[in-house]
């Protein structure tokens, strides 16, 4: 391996990366492009909080990888830096019950986690609300991937507690931002009537980026994350094209990182088109990997069973699933519905000769890709 700049090769202690963290999914960029109107709508909803009042509740919707989480995190960062408003971002893919959500709120407000057992929800809720009243604080809660609360039938109870906190504890000021990537989920219609009566959210929609916007955003990331000259225009254009095919900006960000690592494997100072094409085989599954990390063991088991019995009838899949888990048909059916709503499988009703209608279960991804990633979770 050469050690000089003249041969275009990296020495052992060099890197193509200026700042590798720029290519992490949770990185919040300094410049956030092509979402000006969405940011303004969110600021409008949050402005009352800056004046000490409850903010407007907001519903943020859009396909995966369209900047929803980044927009909210960017505004939360500004609020924390410039105001006394308390902000808490909850990942509902991880915290998918009312108790888990309020545990995150407790942790943010008191700077330590509540006891892992022995504390009722009622007590947890009271401590959070009373602290907000005592400090005269405004709390803004972002429930990210709120669709997971719906999948677990926890959404109505969670929102009811948040939105009616001021009734039980006069002076409690809590606003809610719901973030959902499930475009088939009608959030308001899916809530209990007791919650619908108080939840009238502002709606902010994040559309898919077009290829020029993707190029613009990825060019900015490459400029901050790579050393000068590592990724040229033709290479960035190819990354943008592949990203546009998926519709998910996170694919492009992951693709840049993996392409950079591939270049380093070759001890090259520049990313080639071959580095990108090779990296795409893994980067195109970034959404799949993220979805798998949010599943329980039994949900992952069912997905593995479906991969082994792709296209078979639900009854046959259940037999194999029951053999592995000993779980009953009711729980099995609930998991099937959840995986279907996550677009990991398609559960489609078909006519079966002599047996009426039955559901056939098909993976929405390549079976080998699913099984490989299940091993890594």
Q: Which residue ranges are tagged as binding site for ATP?
A: 66-70, 209, 221
Distances, alpha carbon 160 to alpha carbons 154, 266, 273, 297, in Å:
10, 55, 52, 29
CA-angle at 287, arms to 286 and 289, nearest 5°: 65
Q: In the chain, what is the greatest distance between 2 CA atoms, to the nearest angstrom? A: 74
Q: Which helix (H) or strand (E) holds 362?
A: strand 356-363
Q: Specify whether the CB–CB gap between 349 and 162 falls below 8 A.
A: no
Concatenating the DSSP letter of every residue in 157-223 gives HHHHHHHTHHHHSTT-EEEEEEEE--TT--TTTTS-HHHHTT---EEEE-PPPPHHHHHHHHHHHHH
First vs last Cα of the chain: how many Å apart?
A: 35
Binding residues: 66-70, 209, 221
Concatenating the DSSP letter of every residue in 267-329 gives TBSS--HHHHHHHHHHHTTHHHHHHHHTS-HHHHHHHHHHHHTTT-BHHHHHHHHHHHH---H
CA 183/CA 80 separation, integer angstroms: 30
Q: Give bridge partners of residue 203 from the DSSP assignment.
A: 59
């Amino acid at each position: 391996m050469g050690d000089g700049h003249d041969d275009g090769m990296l020495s052992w202690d060099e890197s193509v990366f200026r700042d590798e963290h720029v290519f992490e999914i949770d990185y919040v960029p300094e410049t956030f492009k092509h979402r000006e109107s969405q940011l303004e709508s969110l600021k409008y909803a949050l402005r009352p909080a800056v004046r000490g009042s409850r903010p407007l509740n907001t519903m943020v919707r859009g396909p995966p990888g369209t900047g929803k989480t980044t927009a909210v995190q960017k505004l939360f960062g500004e609020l924390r830096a410039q105001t006394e408003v308390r902000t808490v971002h909850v990942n509902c893919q991880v915290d998918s019950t009312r108790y888990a959500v309020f545990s995150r709120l407790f942790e943010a407000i008191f700077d330590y986690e509540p006891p892992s057992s022995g504390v009722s929800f009622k007590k947890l809720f009271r401590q959070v609300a009373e602290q907000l009243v005592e400090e005269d604080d405004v709390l803004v809660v972002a429930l990210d991937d709120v669709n997971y609360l719906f999948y677990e039938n926890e959404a109505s109870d969670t929102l009811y507690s948040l939105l009616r906190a001021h009734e039980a504890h006069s002076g409690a000021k809590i606003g809610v931002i719901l973030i959902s990537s499930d475009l088939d989920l009608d959030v308001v219609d899916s809530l209990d009537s007791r919650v619908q009566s108080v939840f009238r959210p502002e709606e902010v929609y994040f559309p898919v980026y077009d290829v020029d916007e993707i190029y613009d955003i990825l060019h900015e990331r490459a400029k901050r994350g790579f050393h000068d000259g590592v990724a040229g225009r033709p290479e960035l254009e190819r990354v943008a094209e592949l990203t546009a095919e998926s519709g998910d900006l996170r694919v492009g960000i992951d693709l840049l990182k993996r392409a950079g690592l591939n270049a380093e494997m070759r001890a090259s100072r520049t990313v080639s088109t071959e580095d990108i094409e090779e990296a795409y085989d893994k980067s195109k599954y970034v959404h799949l990997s993220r979805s798998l990390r949010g599943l329980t063991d039994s949900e992952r088991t069912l997905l593995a069973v479906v991969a082994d019995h792709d296209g078979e009838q639900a009854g046959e899949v259940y037999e194999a699933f029951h053999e592995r888990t000993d779980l009953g048909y009711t729980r099995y059916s609930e998991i099937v519905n959840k995986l279907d709503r996550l677009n990991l499988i398609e559960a489609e009703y078909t006519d079966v000769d002599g047996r009426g209608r039955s559901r056939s279960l098909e993976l929405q991804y390549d079976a080998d890709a699913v099984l490989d990633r299940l091993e890594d979770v």
